[in-house]
A = this chain, B = another copy of it.
């Protein structure tokens, strides 16, 4: 048993690192996790990756992906985060794409996958509704079949990058019969369809990442249904279990810790403070535990196995860590973290956006299934009542 990388993996790491060093724009951009990059920064970067053939780093070769192992993907992400580049926007690449690969028709694959791979289509995800958060299956947005179209009415909320997106994949209700999960379908459509309206939600970091999206008699061709009617819930669940390694955010967390340590090291007061040092140590140990837990999952996946029980806590622990780290930035920043939405001269760049990131990162334990919901699911497995 060892955690050593193979010579091939080490060579791969070198290659990625060199490329990142040559290609990542080093201006600070506030592109750290929880504080999304600007639209042009995000997609310029994705186009650069696409040109290199690395944008689809998580896709299998048959769909034009890299076909990398789980370990290689993790190395790539680690080097990407280390270089300070933003993560790829997940909605098309990591969420819709695997769904289409598994459930899509040939026609759908041909139509959508290349446009994702070439950063032509920007996607967003229509899941949550005002009345359906943790209880997602109670969603009410309807899609009523009418000839060769669905007529969609309803409202989605918390829709990240809806204001940037060309297209949306949506969970909609096609039936009210039987169990509520059974009436849900998975539908794709254009954001510029008639009847789609996007309203911004400004979050407590003072920025606009999220939106409400309203649908009024939106007409969607029936061929935009993925899978079958009523299969939407199964598709959503498939997606949840499909990719678990990214969920802990280890790659970005490691970059955050390195940044935090470097910040303290150049802070004349904090670098001598045993309590600040101890806080870094505790963050580092917790991150090591997370990192090696993630490696266990990677090793299983490289062997073709599913993620083991170790992976179940990754989301909970990963988001707790991210929240603790952003909190540390604020506290280390002190007065330098007080300025709101203004770059003040002389402030360490690490502290510049500290409060906005701390504020926004509170969402990490809410979205994608709150940590309370995660624990409900795990409890069911452990206790089985």
Within 8 A of B (CB), among A277-309: 278
Q: Indicate with 1 or 0, residue by residue over A38-65, a CB within 8 angstroms of chain B CB atoms.
A: 0000000000000000000000000000
Which residues of B lie under 8 Å from residue A274 when comparing CB positions? 274-275
Specify the chain B residue showing the minimal Cβ separation from A273.
B274
Complex formed: what's the CA distance from A278 to B274 in Å?
11
Q: Please state the number of chain copies in the assembly.
A: 2
Q: Indicate with 1 or 0, residue by residue over A241-283, a CB within 8 angstroms of chain B CB atoms.
A: 0000000000000000000000000000000001100100000
Please give the distance in Å from A379's CB to the nearest CB on chain B.
15
Complex formed: what's the CA distance from A349 to B60 in Å?
67
Within 8 A of B (CB), among A159-215: none
Please give the distance in Å from A110's CB to the nearest CB on chain B.
53
Please give the distance in Å from A5's CB to the nearest CB on chain B.
35
Please give the distance in Å from A270's CB to the nearest CB on chain B.
14
Complex formed: what's the CA distance from A192 to B275 in Å?
59
Which residues of B lie under 8 Å from residue A275 when comparing CB positions? 274-275, 278
Please give the distance in Å from A329's CB to the nearest CB on chain B.
21
Q: Indicate with 1 or 0, residue by residue over A125-142, a CB within 8 angstroms of chain B CB atoms.
A: 000000000000000000
Specify the chain B residue showing the minimal Cβ separation from A274.
B274
Please give the distance in Å from A196's CB to the nearest CB on chain B.
38
Complex formed: what's the CA distance from A274 to B278 in Å?
11
Specify the chain B residue showing the minimal Cβ separation from A278.
B275
Please give the distance in Å from A278's CB to the nearest CB on chain B.
6
Please give the distance in Å from A3's CB to the nearest CB on chain B.
30
Complex formed: what's the CA distance from A275 to B274 in Å?
8
Which residues of B lie under 8 Å from residue A278 when comparing CB positions? 275
Complex formed: what's the CA distance from A275 to B275 in Å?
7
Complex formed: what's the CA distance from A274 to B274 in Å?
7
Please give the distance in Å from A280's CB to the nearest CB on chain B.
14
Please give the distance in Å from A100's CB to the nearest CB on chain B.
44
Within 8 A of B (CB), among A346-378: none
Please give the distance in Å from A279's CB to the nearest CB on chain B.
11
Please give the distance in Å from A165's CB to the nearest CB on chain B.
39
Within 8 A of B (CB), among A313-370: none
Please give the distance in Å from A277's CB to the nearest CB on chain B.
10
Complex formed: what's the CA distance from A275 to B281 in Å?
13
Complex formed: what's the CA distance from A278 to B278 in Å?
11
The 4 A-B pairs of least Cβ separation, nearest first, read A274-B274, A275-B278, A274-B275, A275-B275
Q: Return 4 A-B CB contacts under 8 Å, by A number.
A: A274-B274, A274-B275, A275-B275, A275-B278
